[in-house]
Amino acid sequence: MVSSLLTGFVPIGSVSVSAGTHEVSVGAVTLGPGANTLWLKVTQHGGESPWPWGFGLVSFVTAQGRELGTAKVYGNTDGEVFRLGNGLSPMERSGMLKFRARSFSLSWLRAGNETWHLSFEARSGTTTATSEPTVRFPVADQQQDRPWTLALPLALARLDFR
């Protein structure tokens, strides 16, 4: 069953990049009214999965710059969803999705300069922040060894290294 949160993605474009590719335009994107976040579903077509030679940087670029920041993208044939957004609404709603390939090492070149094929889908929306700061962390729940201690009534947490 597909989550309703993963429906509504719109195809933006596909790219084929190699180790020598600097930056490519994926396609034009227009954010919905009031949107401050762009979710991208990136799917790798063919090749080793996950892509062993590097990663990519994807950005929503307007005349004002990379208003929603930049996300680090790894290739996966199953597809993966990444988020662009910093909590602020962009000054411009329309822009271009840009992708820059980055290699881990010269391995990409030694592998015969393989080509990386990716398709991009997008969905815009709003990410809201709470007014109260919160911290979440896993707590080891072992009777003999509890690494986090909550000191009430001050509500301070202490981490014990044993």
* Better-predicted residue by pLDDT, 8 or 98: 98
Q: Categorize the per-residue pLDDT at 55 as very low, low, confident or very high, splitting at 50, 70 and 90.
A: confident
Place of tokens 């208003």: 67
* Better-predicted residue by pLDDT, 25 or 8: 25
Q: Categorize the per-residue pLDDT at 138 as very low, low, confident or very high, splitting at 50, 70 and 90.
A: low
Rounded distance, CA 83 to CA 74, Å? 13
Instruction: Report pLDDT for 153.
Output: 54
Provide mean pLDDT across the span 111-120: 82
pLDDT at 1 exceeding the cut of 50? no
Provide mean pLDDT across the span 76-83: 91
Distance of CA 109 to the CA centre of its chain: 25
Domain annotation for the chain: domains and CATH numbers: 8-125 (2.60.120.260)
Q: Categorize the per-residue pLDDT at 20 as very low, low, confident or very high, splitting at 50, 70 and 90.
A: confident
> Exposed (0-12), middle (13-18) or buried (19+): which is 57, by Cβ within 10 Å?
middle
pLDDT at 160 exceeding the cut of 50? yes
Q: Give the closest residue to 85 by CA, choosing from 153, 49, 32, 16.
A: 32
| pLDDT cut 90: percent of the chain above it | 44
Length of the chain: 162
Instruction: Report pLDDT for 127.
Output: 85
Rounded distance, CA 129 to CA 122, Å? 21
Rounded distance, CA 93 to CA 32, Å? 7
Rounded distance, CA 33 to CA 125, Å? 8
Written as one string, the DSSP assignment of 129-149 is --SS----------SS--SEE
pLDDT at 4 exceeding the cut of 50? no
Most confident of 59-68, 139-148, 152-161: 59-68
Token digits for 69? 């920041």
